[in-house]
Amino acid sequence: MEAHFTEWLNLSIRWVHMIVGIAWIGASFYFVWLENNLDRRNPRDGLSGDLWAIHGGGIYHLEKYKLAPPKMPENLHWFKWEAYSTWLSGVALLLVVYYLNPSLYLLKPGVDLAPSAAIAIGLGSIVASYLIYHLLCDSPLGKRPALLGAVLFVTIIAAAYGFSQIFSGRAAYIHVGAIIGSIMVGNVFFTIMPAQRALVKAIETHTTPDPSLPAKGLLRSRHNNYFTLPVLFIMISNHFPSTYGSPYNWLILAGIAVLAVLVRHYFNTRHNSQRFAWALPAAALGMVCLAYVTKPTPHTPATAAQAQPPAIASAATAEQAASAQPAEPAATPPTDTVDFAQVEQVIHTRCSVCHSANPTSPLFSAAPAGFMLDTPEQMQTQAAKIQAQAVASQIMPLGNITQMTQDERDLIGRWIAQGAHIAR
């Protein structure tokens, strides 16, 4: 019952996160589009431009003031709760999915780190990242946007590399997303909103607003704009194990982030010229290249000596040296047909505890993603997915909770390579 409750809690928070995230990012995209499409020819006094639009059967006339109207309206909508709600629901999702089950979802298999320490690293890195970001923006780098952007990119990818050493691939990606999302909402809360409040107050009191605050707000707003597409990718990345499941997942994330920024830059600048029209085909080519370099490669089964723990291997080597006997020739991978009964036993022992119509694992009340491996026919049908997730990327079982061995993965890989036959 606890697993069932957790699943629905996960679903509810994730749904809220998606809804408010769409509202936040949608508003951001809309205002960028609005700014880029204002008619600035002969604007009315006090205006910097206007726009006529039609949508949903209605005609709209929008005007942008150079500073503000002579008198502030009684009702002025502040775009802030979309950002705050997205961040709060995202943190809640991080807690429910990764921190309630750190051994399963958070920690990388084989990493000797206490779950509490891993959680502390995750939360601490989010706080520290915003503080570092804030200091960099307020440093002399803040006056050199391109260089600042490059430094921020390298810093975030360095964090992704660090996470990949201790966290599972999915957890590493999500923590990078949490860092970027926290920077974005921090920009809204600590910089953009105070700048807007100061502007409104100055207009109401007929004083001159501090020009430095809007300048800071503009810089942070621009960062948020370029962060949106990388964050959107991270939000959907857990559906694509060839990205987060790769040994080079941090480099793949870096590549996709660069392509996302290129696409965003094109849409930000296309109203002035088509100077960056090359960005779209370049991004498409980049995705093709990433798909090629991340393709799974056949795994060579470990030899008997390689499969031994280091201590045993060392002892064997010492014994051979002492007896002065020539070493045995390296074992060659078996080429005989794999017995499906062996494969079936491995899958039932290591995989079907979760991926079953009636999981025996207390962590799940239903098969994750509806992926079931109860029957030989299901195993044969799902062979490609088993190859991708249990043999090639080895992201399954989650956290290797069922202790699947390399020999067992090799056995399944050979069975699939031989055609995934289920005849006994």
What is the number of domains present in the chain?
Answer: 2
The mean per-residue pLDDT over the stretch 19-44 comes to 92
Helix, strand, coil percentages in the chain from 3-state DSSP, rounded to 5: 65, 5, 30
Residue 330: per-residue pLDDT: 43
- Give, in order, the Cα–Cα distances in Å from 231 to each of 124, 180, 257: 20, 7, 9
Who wins on pLDDT, 410 or 298?
410
Q: Which two tokens stand for residue 108?
A: 């990388």
226 belongs to a structural domain? yes
**pLDDT band at residue 335 using 50, 70 and 90 as cut-offs:** low
Residue finishing a domain among 237, 269, 293: 293
Burial of 244 (0-12, 13-18, 19+ CB in 10 A): buried
Q: What is the pLDDT of residues 128-186, one digit of tens each?
A: 999 999 999 999 999 999 999 999 999 999 999 999 999 999 999 999 999 999 999 99
244 belongs to a structural domain? yes
Percentage with pLDDT > 90 across the chain: 61
Residues 263 and 344 in one domain: no
CB 191 within 8 A of CB 216: yes
Please determine, for residue 305, whether its predicted confidence score (pLDDT) is greater than 60: no
Who wins on pLDDT, 241 or 292?
292
Angle at Cα 227 formed by Cα 225 and Cα 232, nearest 5°? 110
Please determine, for residue 301, whether its predicted confidence score (pLDDT) is greater than 90: no
Q: Which two tokens stand for residue 353?
A: 């505890």
Who wins on pLDDT, 263 or 209?
263
Residues 130 and 207 in one domain: yes
Residues 282 and 353 in one domain: no
**pLDDT band at residue 4 using 50, 70 and 90 as cut-offs:** confident
Number of Cβ atoms within 10 Å of the Cβ of 147? 12
300 belongs to a structural domain? no
Please determine, for residue 230, whether its predicted confidence score (pLDDT) is greater than 60: yes
Q: What is the pLDDT of residues 381-407, one digit of tens each?
A: 989 889 988 998 888 888 888 889 999
Residues 391 and 252 in one domain: no
**pLDDT band at residue 314 using 50, 70 and 90 as cut-offs:** very low
Who wins on pLDDT, 60 or 209?
60
Residues 286 and 367 in one domain: no
DSSP structure string for 178-200:
HHHHHHHHHIIIIIIHHHHHHHH
CB 322 within 8 A of CB 369: no
Report the DSSP pairing between strands 47-55 and 58-65: antiparallel
Residue 329: per-residue pLDDT: 41
Determine phi and psi for 402, rounding to 5 degrees. Answer: -95, 5
- pTM for the model: 0.79
Look at the block and give the residue holding tokens 């429910």.
96
- Give, in order, the Cα–Cα distances in Å from 324 to each of 316, 319, 320, 327, 329: 12, 8, 6, 9, 15
267 belongs to a structural domain? yes
The mean per-residue pLDDT over the stretch 25-54 comes to 92
Q: Which two tokens stand for residue 139?
A: 């440093």
Range of the domain at 370: 334-417
Q: Which two tokens stand for residue 331?
A: 């074992």
85 belongs to a structural domain? yes
Q: What is the pLDDT of residues 107-116, one digit of tens each?
A: 998 899 999 9
303 belongs to a structural domain? no
The mean per-residue pLDDT over the stretch 290-309 comes to 58
Residues 58 and 120 in one domain: yes
The mean per-residue pLDDT over the stretch 76-100 comes to 95
**pLDDT band at residue 325 using 50, 70 and 90 as cut-offs:** very low
- Residue 398 CA to its chain's centroid (Å): 17
Residue finishing a domain among 293, 311, 346: 293
Who wins on pLDDT, 320 or 297?
297
The mean per-residue pLDDT over the stretch 193-222 comes to 87
3-state secondary structure of 77: coil
Q: What DSSP element (H or E) covers 230?
A: helix 212-236
Residues 136 and 228 in one domain: yes
Please determine, for residue 304, whether its predicted confidence score (pLDDT) is greater than 50: no
41 belongs to a structural domain? yes
Mean pLDDT in the chain? 87
Of the chain, the end-to-end C-alpha distance in Å amounts to 38
Q: Strands (DSSP E) along 209-359, which ranges? A: none
Lowest mean pLDDT among 302-306, 329-333, 339-343: 302-306
Residue 177: per-residue pLDDT: 97
Please determine, for residue 254, whether its predicted confidence score (pLDDT) is greater than 70: yes
Task: Choose among 240, 236, 164: nearest CA to 14.
Answer: 236
The mean per-residue pLDDT over the stretch 339-364 comes to 89
Residues 211 and 349 in one domain: no
Residues 264 and 348 in one domain: no
Residues 246 and 356 in one domain: no
177 belongs to a structural domain? yes
Look at the block and give the residue holding tokens 């094109």.
266
Residues 367 and 287 in one domain: no
Residues 189 and 48 in one domain: yes
Please determine, for residue 104, whether its predicted confidence score (pLDDT) is greater than 80: yes
Spatial neighbors of 120 by CB under 8 A, at least 6 apart, are none
Lowest mean pLDDT among 161-165, 271-275, 338-342: 271-275
Residue 66: per-residue pLDDT: 87
